[in-house]
Structure 1
Amino acid sequence: MSSPVIALIGNPNAGKSSLFNQLTGLRQKTGNFPGVTVDKKSGSWPIDAHTTATVVDLPGVYSIYPKSLDEQLVTDILANPAHPDYPDVAIVVVDASNLHRNLLLFTQVADLGVPVILALNMLDVARQQAKEINAVRLAMRLGVPVVRINARVGEGIDQLVKAVLNQLQSPTVAGKLFFDPAEGATALITDTKEQYKLDNNYLALQYIIQHDGFSFLNRQQQAGLDALISKYQFSEPTFQAEETITRYKRIATVVAETVTDQRPANQPTWSQKLDRVLLHPVWGYAIFGFVLLLIFQAIFAWAQPFMDAIDTGVAWINGQLKESLPAGPLTDLLTDGILAGIGGILVFIPQIAFLFLLVALLEESGYMSRVMVIMDRIMRKFGLNGRSVVPLISGVACAVPAIIATRSIGTKRDRLITILVTPLMSCSARLPIYTILIALVVPNQRILGLFNLQGLALMALYLLGLISALVAAYILKLVLRSRERSFFIMELPTFKLPRWNHVGISVWESVRSFVWEAGRVILAISIVLWVLASYGPGDAMQQAEAHTRQQNPTLTDDTLANLVASERLEASYAGHFGHFIEPVIKPLGYDWKIGIALISSFAAREVFVGTMATIYSIGTGDDEGVTIRERLKQERNPETGGPMYTPALAWSLLVFYVFAMMCMSTLAATQRETRSWKWPAVQLIYMMVVAYISAFATYQLMQ
């Protein structure tokens, strides 16, 4: 078999994703499951010298009966052998410390007739709880291979390889159904199997119960199943309740025979002791606020030396290229256009990396799940589902995957509200804008010797985004009425030490994605912007240069060169476009140069910095050694003669970018998830209106 499909299935927090990382390493990719818009993680796994498998990490579920879009996908694949991701072998990863609950999903998957392997994970946690599992006896009772693993450190992978190879060579399934629906609905199951050419009783039951959600059944087939349900007066809720009760009774027998529990009754684990503090209605929020404060302080303090080195290095390379390459349009395009634009993003890699590093550490340790629980108390007051916490927190990295993560929200209204407010969370694309503007107007000094003012300013902007998201959600809750009730159920994982290899993979993938996605956009925009800024209508630029030289005959060569470059830029196509929109943005304190950057950043927010780097590189003559931050500091207001980037202007821009919808990718994601252009339009309009009004008020009040 050249490329078998191995599916990883399991409850949330069972260690499935950890096993996926162990098996695939950096051989991973992200895409969509065929026929649906739910994202999947897949990767190649060289099992042995002759077999390389495709490992598919399916969404975490507690049962094959779905409550959300991503959960629906699991059954849609397992019930359809023709699906491209239908597994040759399914590895069901279970939390050994909570075997009773985890085995429910396992028995359902096994009953579907899929060749399955049970992977006992988190055995170390089970031992801490004084639990011992007899894996051999468990395998005999379940009738399938059982492998002991530690997905965090890679233990047991050799045994897992042997089990997978055996299942690929000689597929075996559990011999007896844990729950046989024919015992309670014999005629209905028999008719369904005959009409739909099925040979598995439990698969027939899934056709009956879940046919409306199966993408592989056409309307005629779904109507036929509806007719069978009516014919036999089948009660779905009653049957599902009976199934769950029956399964848990049989699972309890298996657990009693295979698990030895020596823990004294009611003795709390150390994770439970920590949770008494971290989930406390007062101390929980205080600790979370302190953690946020440390994160934003670290982003400035740790990243600054690396940023300075990159900033200086890019400026030095730019100067060297201008000296060594022949003067001409191609050299100007390379230095003033491409390198200036890309350099404006590269300088922020250290801060992006530290942000993703710290967030990954919180996720790996298990603390992020606690954050979701305590924030659920606040979310419900604003009309959001507790599961909305996951997309909102994810939005700190990027709004696009965060919007995709709303598929785990069961109710349509709560999911729509979460989609509409998630872009208000300050994503990593805003970080370059925040940091460069904060560095211009906020002193780099400490309070009480501990807290950096710039870090506090950055934290304030992130909190402003969170507060605005909650307020917007509350307003939308009043507008969008619904009778659906929502629930938030989350199992808290035990606290663990971070796995540095997984943290490293997470940071690398996140930074690479940020640089690659932003870099492509910036490269294209930098080239277009350089052309627009280097050429003008007719001989306007030549006339501007001649007029400037004629009016300023006494200036030094360097000063005259800078003035000429600035006048030529203003006479270019870019200058004309900037002046065209200047009346609209003038009340916010912005000039035509900032206007160009605002428009270009609609492609992606981070383009703002790259655009400013390109504009000021073109407009500053031969001053090659000056970094973009120094250029912004040196920029003068032509009307006042003072600094252009005053605190009023800088804070107006900062507030504008907190609220503004300046990301086409996010709008596209909203359209894809809502399947309508109505909601992206609503999102764009309300965010831009709030951004304009807020920036206007900020500038006018601070002037």
Structure 2
Amino acid sequence: MDGDLKVALVGNPNSGKSTLFNVLTGLNQKIGNFPGVTVEKKIGFVKLSDQRNAQITDLPGTYSIYPKSRDERIVMDALADKNSPDYPELIIFVADASNLKRNLLLFSQVADLQIPIIIALNMMDLAGQSGIEIAVDELAQKLGVQVIPISARKQQGIDRLKEAILNSTSIPLQLPSIEVEAIAPELIQKIQDELNIEHPYVALQLAHQYENMLFLSAEQKRKIQELNQEFGFHSQKSQASETIARYNFINDVLFDTVKIHSDPKRETHSNRIDKILTHRIFGFIIFFAILFLIFQSIFAWSEYPMSLIEQLFMWLTDMGTQILPPGLLTDLLIDGVLAGLSGVIIFIPQIAILFAFISILEDTGYMSRVTFMMDKIMRKVGLSGKSIVPLIGGFACAVPSIMSARNIESWKDRMITIMVTPLIACSARLPVYTLLISLVVPDEKVWGIINMQGIALMSLYVLSIVSAILVAWVMKLVIRSRERGYFIMELPVYRMPRWNNVLLTMYRSVKAFVFEAGKVIIAVSIILWVLSSFGPSDRFEKIEARYSSEAMKKQYPQDEIDRLQASEKLENSYAGMLGKSIEPAIRPIGFDWKIGIALITSFAAREVFVGTMATIYSVDGDDSHVESVREKMQSARNPDTGLPVFTTAVAFSLMMFYAFAMQCMSTIAVVYRETKSWKWPAIQFVYMTVLAYLASFIVYNLLK
């Protein structure tokens, strides 16, 4: 969309910035990374009129332009580099109307960068309920910018905001909040001259932050360092005096524009709820009750749609077998593509339910309370309260969660968080768990309401939390650092969830699962089908000769001959040879060579296990009747003993293996990117594999 107006959304955390982004852009969004860093950026597009569109970038939330974390550095980088493709022509500053004083500190800093700016005064409804009256027109006059009162959650004032964007000027009109040049006049002028910087406050920020500015060359950084030394520039003293000056300006502005009519001693609605939900005993009971409800719902509510999807794929397989001509291409489509696809689509209901609950917990403000409650526990195992954000995010996916650990200031806390986050049961493990649980845990209800399969699933998630905490405690003793972390977090007020936002989150999560995980699963399924269908020619020729002999035809019916031949071909295929090579190592934990193939292929992504099972048992199966993946695995028999392959011991051993093993290439890649070293991902891979093997060995030998 070349020629679009480039707009950046800037604001404090919990100001409603992301809500406004979703309201403005709807489904017209894409995810990427900022140039040169792995921080994720969200870009969306909004139609302003018949002639013009705006490209909106949602910048990370920050309280100040002086960054405390790697995420916050992105804000200054994006707003200071005029040559960047992300450099905005307009800033929409999202301010929380109920907490305007704190929000205006960041506004005054961003406004002094001299980029045209509009204030979206959000949460006006909540400000009114709290007895806060804002003279919007007078505020706009004092700041020299358009101020648009909105409620992003209720989608009020959005059309006025779009009009304001359309009518914005290309000239920054905002009034100065402080005299920037007075802070370090000679230094600022020298940096402006040397680096051809137009605005004084940008030059001052380069003096403060040059070491972390990605767009500066090594020579430019060296020059700024020399100038700082020449003029005796003291960054911390400069920041302190600047902040005092800004708050003096903000106090003057608010004195004339904001009136508070409520009783400051009156306890807020959120504080009254917090007395129960964050209680040191009842708070944890409520949290585990909510977890219990989530995992019960995942099984109970997904059962019907999953069985419909299962039947659909069985029907498609049956129709494909009847309509398509016999041959390699048909086998590839049915046993490779369709079998792999079924391993993706069937888990959509469960993924959607999980992310719906996560979205509701975040939207209501409850997830922040969980973070707050867990802070004391985290500190005892060598982490800070900020670590809980990546750990809870790990329930969805370890990759963005590890990236979110950047906001942890302490190197030690950050490293331990990165090292233990993959232990948290992510959504990729959900298809593996639910498939294996459905094989060996009876679908029965205790007291008529508590589903046994839901209890089993919840136990695996609780195990993942406990194991992450225990490993963190061990790493606290191993990793040495004198740094001390700190935990500062603003708790948002409780709100009703926005159901359109919940639906949007469900849609995005399912789309990511289907298209991102799905691509990997189907690609692996096709490769696996090739490896399973072909092998050394002399072996296949001997098998075909043996099973086409008259002696075999007299001994077995044709259906049984086909089944035995397919099974022996699979064992002698390239995939079979691969599985057989690792079978001695995995036999003590109850796995055969077919499961060995799944362990290897699912290293691409954990959920590939399901597609692998579907493909292996399709290749190995009997074409006389169509079965679902679950039924094929249930009917699988050990050729030596005649007993089921997936016994309770084997299924739980597999669950333990997937609970602990680092079966994800993406996670290894992101740990390397975040730590800038192969040492940490190597340590992580080794310790998680050892944990997985030991846990599987113990569980298998106890249950067998």
Do Structure 1 and Structure 2 share a fold, with TM-score over 0.5?
yes
TM-score by length of structure 1 reads 0.97
Q: Deviations over 1:634-663 (max 9, x none)?
A: 111223222111111000000000001111
Aligned AA for 2:701?
Q
Corresponding residue number in structure 1 for 2:60: 59
1:596 aligns with 2:604: no
1:171 deviates by: 2.5
Matched residues in 2 for 1:265 and 1:500: separation?
Answer: 32
Q: 458-467 or 226-235, which moves further after superposition?
A: 226-235
Matched residues in 2 for 1:547 and 1:697: separation?
Answer: 42
Q: Is contact 2:552–2:561 with CA below 8 Å preserved after alignment?
A: no
Classify the secondary structure of the residue corresponding to 1:45.
Answer: strand
Corresponding residue number in structure 2 for 1:327: 326
Corresponding residue number in structure 1 for 2:394: 395
Q: Is contact 1:180–1:201 with CA below 8 Å preserved after alignment?
A: no
Corresponding residue number in structure 2 for 1:187: 186
Matched residues in 2 for 1:321 and 1:184: separation?
Answer: 76
Q: 403-412 or 11-20, which moves further after superposition?
A: 403-412
Q: Is contact 1:522–1:607 with CA below 8 Å preserved after alignment?
A: yes
1:516 aligns with 2:532: no
Corresponding residue number in structure 1 for 2:674: 673
Classify the secondary structure of the residue corresponding to 1:604.
Answer: coil
Matched residues in 1 for 2:236 and 2:560: separation?
Answer: 81
Corresponding residue number in structure 2 for 1:637: 638
Corresponding residue number in structure 2 for 1:297: 296
Q: Is contact 1:581–1:595 with CA below 8 Å preserved after alignment?
A: yes
1:206 deviates by: 0.8
1:72-87 to structure 2, matched below 5 A, reads 72-87=73-88
Q: Deviations over 1:400-453 (max 9, x none)?
A: 111121222222222222112111111111111100110111111122223211
Corresponding residue number in structure 2 for 1:270: 269
Classify the secondary structure of the residue corresponding to 2:244.
Answer: helix
Classify the secondary structure of the residue corresponding to 2:209.
Answer: helix
Instruction: Give ranges in structure 1 of 5+ residues lacking alignment.
Output: none
1:278 deviates by: 1.3
Corresponding residue number in structure 1 for 2:15: 14
Corresponding residue number in structure 2 for 1:430: 429
Corresponding residue number in structure 2 for 1:171: 171
Matched residues in 2 for 1:164 and 1:660: separation?
Answer: 50
Aligned AA for 1:200?
H
Q: Deviations over 1:447-473 (max 9, x none)?
A: 222321111110111111111111222
Classify the secondary structure of the residue corresponding to 2:161.
Answer: helix
Q: Is contact 1:376–1:385 with CA below 8 Å preserved after alignment?
A: yes
1:57 deviates by: 0.3
Q: Over aligned residues, Cα RMSD in angstroms?
A: 1.6
Aligned AA for 1:379?
M
Matched residues in 1 for 2:163 and 2:642: separation?
Answer: 76
Q: 538-547 or 598-607, which moves further after superposition?
A: 538-547
Aligned AA for 1:453?
M
Q: Is contact 1:34–1:84 with CA below 8 Å preserved after alignment?
A: no
Classify the secondary structure of the residue corresponding to 1:62.
Answer: coil
Corresponding residue number in structure 1 for 2:349: 350
Q: Deviations over 1:126-147 (max 9, x none)?
A: 1111111110011111111100
Classify the secondary structure of the residue corresponding to 1:119.
Answer: strand
Q: Deviations over 1:494-536 (max 9, x none)?
A: 1112222221111111111111112211222222211222222
TM-score by length of structure 2 reads 0.97
Corresponding residue number in structure 1 for 2:363: 364
Q: Deviations over 1:146-201 (max 9, x none)?
A: 00111113211221122222224x5233232x122433433333333333333433
Classify the secondary structure of the residue corresponding to 1:260.
Answer: strand
1:70-109 to structure 2, matched below 5 A, reads 70-109=71-110
4+ residue runs over 6 A deviation: none
Corresponding residue number in structure 2 for 1:136: 137
Matched residues in 1 for 2:427 and 2:406: separation?
Answer: 22
Aligned AA for 1:537?
P
Matched residues in 1 for 2:186 and 2:67: separation?
Answer: 26
1:117 deviates by: 0.7
1:536 aligns with 2:535: yes
Classify the secondary structure of the residue corresponding to 2:414.
Answer: helix
1:650-665 to structure 2, matched below 5 A, reads 650-665=651-666
1:115-264 to structure 2, matched below 5 A, reads 115-168=116-169, 170-176=170-176, 178-264=177-263
Classify the secondary structure of the residue corresponding to 1:539.
Answer: helix
Matched residues in 1 for 2:637 and 2:183: separation?
Answer: 82
1:552 deviates by: 7.7
Corresponding residue number in structure 2 for 1:693: 694
Q: Is contact 2:409–2:485 with CA below 8 Å preserved after alignment?
A: yes
Matched residues in 1 for 2:189 and 2:541: separation?
Answer: 86
Matched residues in 2 for 1:571 and 1:73: separation?
Answer: 54
Aligned AA for 1:658?
A
Matched residues in 1 for 2:113 and 2:162: separation?
Answer: 23
Instruction: Give ranges in structure 2 of 5+ residues lacking alignment.
Output: none
Q: 556-565 or 124-133, which moves further after superposition?
A: 556-565
Q: Is contact 2:4–2:55 with CA below 8 Å preserved after alignment?
A: yes
1:551 deviates by: 5.6
Matched residues in 1 for 2:612 and 2:315: separation?
Answer: 19
Aligned AA for 2:104?
L
Matched residues in 1 for 2:519 and 2:195: separation?
Answer: 49
Matched residues in 1 for 2:206 and 2:598: separation?
Answer: 55
Q: Deviations over 1:478-504 (max 9, x none)?
A: 222112221121111111122222211
Aligned AA for 2:11?
G
1:23 deviates by: 1.2
Q: Is contact 1:316–1:624 with CA below 8 Å preserved after alignment?
A: no
Classify the secondary structure of the residue corresponding to 1:563.
Answer: helix
Matched residues in 1 for 2:152 and 2:289: separation?
Answer: 31
Matched residues in 1 for 2:144 and 2:349: separation?
Answer: 51
1:545 deviates by: 4.6
Matched residues, number: 701
1:63 deviates by: 0.3
1:49 deviates by: 1.4
1:46 deviates by: 1.4
Classify the secondary structure of the residue corresponding to 2:603.
Answer: coil
